[in-house]
Structure formats: structure tokens, C-alpha cells
Amino acid sequence: MAAILPIRRTDLRRAALDIPTDPDPKRATPMRYLPLTETDRAEMLARIGVEDIDALYADVPADELLDHLLDLPKAKGEMEVERIMSRWAAKNTTASTAPFFVGAGAYKHHVPATVDHLIQRSEFLTSYTPYQPEITQGTLQVLFEFQTQVANLMAMEVANASMYDGSTGAGEAVLMAHRITRRRKAVLSGGLHPHYAEVIATLSDMASDTVARLAPNVGGDEDILAAIDGETSCVVVQSPDVFGRIVDLAPIAEKAHAVGALLVAVVTEVVALGAIEPPGAQGADIVVAEGQSLGNPLGFGGPYVGLFAARSKHVRQMPGRLCGETVDAEGKRGFVLTLSTREQHIRREKATSNICTNAGLCALAFSIHLTLLGEAGLTRLAALNHEAAVEVAEALGNIPGVEVLNDTFFNEFTVKLPVDAAALVEKLATNEGILAGVPVSRLMPGAGLDDLLIVAVTECSTADDRAALVAAISEAI
């Protein structure tokens, strides 16, 4: 093979101009995302020294190499793709076009236009994990700021660069607690979101760990302290819980610590932390949260962003990426991914987790939204959510036959109805165009809780929306 001399930049520019600008008639597939022309392809094959492209697939057994196109549609222009996708989108009812009270782990909040604009900056959107820190300081500084925001919000000492979502973060928290305590039994409160409990239970089942899952804590009177014993590695408690009730975590932390166990606190609505005591102030050892509420759309369930915070002494047992401060060769402050000896690409089967990504862009959206809000904005947003929820809870509670189960709540509460909640939700959606909430039976089928409805009220609801919900429920029962 002949050696190639280095080509000067100017030569290449000229060479590039020689390429015909008109679409090459020989081009097999006109495809807007593929820059190579048929002429390029022929030249490249010649340079490689092979007859055709299939010569490069020589290691594929001949009988496995496809000799036909698969039974799928052919390439389409942008306009046609938009038409197809738009038709699917039009079949869905959007949260912004209906009086909307659906929560239970994902919440409709207003996201400032600035957030979505900034996360679409090419340099954030189309960058990889910051493994080359000299040219990814933008992402790294954002992660350092994000970690600090999350830690402060939770009143914890350290937070990681994010997890896939809150539920998978909860699974990882249990595994982390097992590593720290060298015990393999998790106690799950009956107020924990059932999907989170199922994620933990699935992981534990596969790893042959033990899970003690308490019955749905409808009345708010579960005796979780009695479930914590010397075998317990951690107790997982959500506050506000899935029914909306705010839980006093301090006595649970105290009991857990007394027997050498950890308290894993779960938050599915982070806006609540603008109004209520943070888990870190109540003795939580690990806090996991769903961060979707800030910066991220509902998006039919994902992608979201898991928040994960812990005590400094446990940092080396944390899963996920961590960004740390350092200096460069000139002594300037800079940031790098650090403590990677915990991670799979170094430790392989001894890693703390198999996680190899975070939720980078969703964490960025979270961080920008929280920066725009600031403490003043977050606390005000929380107060608005709370008072809107109080208004609806009071009005619903005044309807004969409807009972609000919560003594305390933030922006979500549970009502007991004299009718089947799922049927009511379906009826209001179909007849009134109102999305009234999440029937408990959707989350806990077969639990005999068919008359319970979880109602979330955020700043996005108008006074008219709230009145419409109350009137519709009053009418329907």
C-alpha cells in the first residue's frame, strides 16, 4: 500500500469544491442525512482495495447476510415524516388543553421558554459524556452546579450527577444501603409509590435479597417502626407519600439508626421541598427523588431525571457519576468526573452499579429551571401549588359523600368517593374533557381501593379548571 503524504488544508478545500454539487443521479438512496455520494463511495472502496461494500462484511456468514430490504417503509422526506408523527400526536389529549389533575409521580408544571431553548444549544445537546474535560467544561460545570443545587435542596452533604429517574434511583439506593450495612433486607413503607416498590422488589428478587413491603398506607397509620429490626439494611419511606401525606421522617430515622439501618427517603414531587422540611434535616441517609417537575415535560413517562443525595461518609458507595472540582495545568479552576473507580468501566463486576450514563440533558433542564426560580421563586411556586391544592381539597371535601383522607398534604391528596374512581375518571375525560386524577386502582389493582382517587393540583390549573373539576365530580356522583 502506498504511503499517503499529509494533505494540506488548502488542498482539501480545493478537492472538496471539485465534488459535484448537484444530486448525483447514481446515488442509490437520496438521503438527507448521508453526505457520501456514489462517486465518494466508489473512490473510498477503491482506496480500501475492495470490490464492493459486502466485501467488508466478509466475516458475516453468507447465508446470514440479507439479500433484500426488510419489510419496512422506504425513506421519507421531512414533510411526510412530520405529517405521520403529527397524526399520532393529535390522538392524545394534552395536559395544557384540559383541566388537569393527574400526578402520582409525574407533575404538570410550567417550564420557562428559556429552559427548552438553552438545552437545545448544540454544545449541550450533541456533546458526549465529558470524558475529555478540557473540551467539556460546560457540561462539567453544569453538573457541579446541579450537584450543589440538589444537595442544598435535600439538605444533604453530597449529590451525584443524576440517575435515570426516581424509581431506578430508589432501586440503586437500596443496593447502596445493602453494601454499606452488609445486610440484605429492605423495608418498604406502604406509602411508597407502588411502581417504585415494584422496581425495588424486582431488583431484590433477581439478586435474592429480601423485601418487606407494608400494606398500602391509606389511613396514614402504618407502624413502620415495628417493621425495622436488626436484619434491616434500610427503610424506604416516601414523603409526601403516594397518597399525598407528609410523613414525619425523624422518628423513623431514629429507629433505623438505633438498629444500624439506613433511612432512604423518597420524593416524587421536588417542588414540595420549597415548602416542607427536607429529608436531610430529618436524618435521612440517602435521598432519592424524581426531578421531572423542574425543567422537564411530562413526556408520557420519560426521559426524566433521578436525583440522588447521600452523606459524605458514604460517597464511595454511591452509584452514578460524580463531578468534582480540581485545577488545570495553569492552576485554573476546572471540573472533572471523579471517583470513577466505583464505576463499571473500571471495576467491571465489582462496580457499585452497572450504570454508565446519567440523565445529562434532563439534569441540565432541571438545573436551569431551578436557577431561574432561585430560592425566592421556588418557595413562591411551592406556596402557589399548596394553596391551589388546599382550595380543591376543601371544595371536594364539602361534596356530600366525598372524603379527603389526608390530614396533611402539599399539592396532592387522596379522596374517597362513593363511586368507582377509575370509572369516574374515564367518564370525566370522555364527557367533560377533564383529567381528574389517578385512580388508586391503576397503581394498586386488586387492593380493594377502587373508590380512591389521587388528585394533584399545580400552578398550571386555573380557578376555572379547579371549579370545573369540583362541579363535575359533584355532578357525577
Partner 1 sequence: MLNDKGRPTRPETADASGAATFTGNRALDVEEALIFEIGHTETTGVDLPAPKGKASRLGAHARKAPIDLPGLAEPEAVRHYVRLSRKNYSIDAGLYPLGSCTMKHNPRLNEKMARLPGFADVHPLQPVSTVRGALDVVAEVGRWLVELTGMKAVAMSPKAGAHGELAGMMAIKAALRARGLDKPVVLVPESAHGTNPATAALIGFEVKPVPARADGTVRVEDVKAAIDDRVGALMLTNPNTCGIFEPEVAEIAAAIHAAGGYFYCDGANFNAIVGKVRPGDFGVDAMHINLHKTFSTPHGGGGPGAGPVVLSERLAAFAPHPFVRMEAGEPVLVEDPSGVKDGETPFGRLTAFHGQMGMFTRAMAYMLSHGADGLKQASEDAVLSANYVRACLSDLFTLPFPDHPSMHEVLFDDRFLEGTGVTTLDFAKAMIDEGYHPMTMYFPLVVHGAMLIEPTESESKASLDLFVATLRDLAMAAKGEDKSRFTQAPRFSPRRRLDETRAARAPKLKWEKPKAV
Residue 114 vs 229, nearer CB to partner 1:
114
Residue 229 vs 333, nearer CB to partner 1:
333
Closest separation between CB of residue 142 and partner 1, Å? 6
Spatial contact of 416 and 451, defined as CB atoms under 8 Å apart: yes
Residue 43: which H helix or E strand, with range?
helix 38-48
Q: Is 61 helix (H, G, I), strand (E, B) or coil?
A: coil
Q: Nearest-CA neighbor of 119 among 142, 153, 87, 147?
A: 142
Residue 114 vs 398, nearer CB to partner 1:
114
Residue 32 vs 400, nearer CB to partner 1:
32
Q: How far apart are CA 247 and CA 230, in angstroms?
A: 23
Closest separation between CB of residue 227 and partner 1, Å? 22
Closest separation between CB of residue 158 and partner 1, Å? 5
Q: How far apart are CA 472 and CA 434, in angstroms?
A: 8
Closest separation between CB of residue 248 and partner 1, Å? 7
Sheet holding 438-439, edge to edge: 403-404, 412-416, 452-456, 438-439
Closest separation between CB of residue 57 and partner 1, Å? 6
Q: Is 156 helix (H, G, I), strand (E, B) or coil?
A: coil
Closest separation between CB of residue 33 and partner 1, Å? 6
Residue 138 vs 260, nearer CB to partner 1:
138
Q: How far apart are CA 271 and CA 379, in angstroms?
A: 8
What the block records as the C-alpha cell of 344 is 463499571
Q: Nearest-CA neighbor of 2 among 36, 45, 47, 43?
A: 47
Closest separation between CB of residue 457 and partner 1, Å? 12
Length of the chain: 477
Spatial contact of 189 and 237, defined as CB atoms under 8 Å apart: yes
Residue 137 vs 317, nearer CB to partner 1:
137
Residue 35 vs 230, nearer CB to partner 1:
35
Q: Is 201 helix (H, G, I), strand (E, B) or coil?
A: helix
Residue 438: which H helix or E strand, with range?
strand 438-439
